[in-house]
Amino acid sequence: MLRPLVAVSTDAKPVENYVWHATPEPYLEAAVSGAGVIPVLVPSLGEKIDLDSLLAGVDGVLITGSKSNVHPSLYGGDASEENGPYDPARDATTLPLIRKAIEKGVPLLAICRGIQELNVALGGTLATELQEMEGRFDHRAPENASQDERFAIRHAVTIQPSGCFASVFGKDAIHVNSVHRQGVATAAPRLEVEAVAGDGTIEAVSVKDAPAFAVGVQWHPEYWVKSDEDSARIFRAFGDAVRAHAARRREQSVAAG
């Protein structure tokens, strides 16, 4: 059986004399080993990428994390030096890609910056510097730490009993890592809150009435996908949704002759 392709977001980053479109390896590794799919990078070229053509050729979309923040102008906020860095090229690619994937029923998994992009793409807003907000935890990774320490499992999240993640995890709470300073402020109308942290931070969402799997998580399941069962469950569920989409696409292709 051929393995399905999954479109993966990229950051547009100046490196030496060029702008590179790249994404960190853990997301790609997790797509291969955790979801059983083949990741294909989508350059952050905005409207130069014909999304109908792209989504006709893949069976899933994975929106990754990034140190950069969604530009505040996209949700009525004000840009500032402190609130950066920004990646407008990525925003111009991922937000339309997210909306089109949901519309076309292409399975979507959005991680960290990805859940924030999902929320903004559907009309929600973001809060920045959560750690400075009354009653909130510090959701950032420790500084001057190894990657394993930065992505260490750090806090519990409560899973909403009636949501799609309840069936993915089969329990009412899991423990997750935390590497972010922003978060969902106002959830978009189409989003169902699926998990929250002890300080009320929204940690996972799903898209109401989406024709296919469409979820976002604020934590990083890709990082421990090989050793943490709950992380593995998310990627397995995404992979299963991708394979179901691929099977539907094959059937439609055969039926169309």
Ligand X SMILES: N[C@@H](CCC(=O)NCCCC(=O)O)C(=O)O
Active-site positions read 112, 220, 222
Contacting residue, 30, 37, 92, 179, with ligand X by CB under 6 A: 179
13: contact with ligand X by CB under 6 A? no
| Piece of 7-15, 28-36, 67-75, 184-192 that binds ligand X (CB under 6 A) | 67-75
Contacting residue, 100, 104, 181, 236, with ligand X by CB under 6 A: 181
83: contact with ligand X by CB under 6 A? no
Contacting residue, 71, 90, 113, 233, with ligand X by CB under 6 A: 113
Which tokens is 52 given? 């109908």
245: contact with ligand X by CB under 6 A? no
112: contact with ligand X by CB under 6 A? yes
Which tokens is 75 given? 């949700």
Closer to ligand X by CB, 44 or 66: give it. Answer: 66
23: contact with ligand X by CB under 6 A? no
Q: Which amino acid is at 18?
A: Y
107: contact with ligand X by CB under 6 A? no
| Helices 88-104 and 113-121, axial angle in degrees (round to 10) | 70
Whether the CB-CB separation of 203 and 176 falls below 8 Å is answered with: yes
Distance between first and last Cα of the chain: 20
67: contact with ligand X by CB under 6 A? yes
Size of the residue set binding ligand X (CB under 6 A): 11
Q: Which residues contact 57 (CB under 8 A, 6 or more apart)?
A: 5
180: contact with ligand X by CB under 6 A? yes
Contacting residue, 26, 34, 65, 239, with ligand X by CB under 6 A: 65
Quote the least distance from Cβ 201 to ligand X, whole Å: 10
Applying CB under 6 A, the residues found at the interface with ligand X are 65-69, 112-113, 179-182
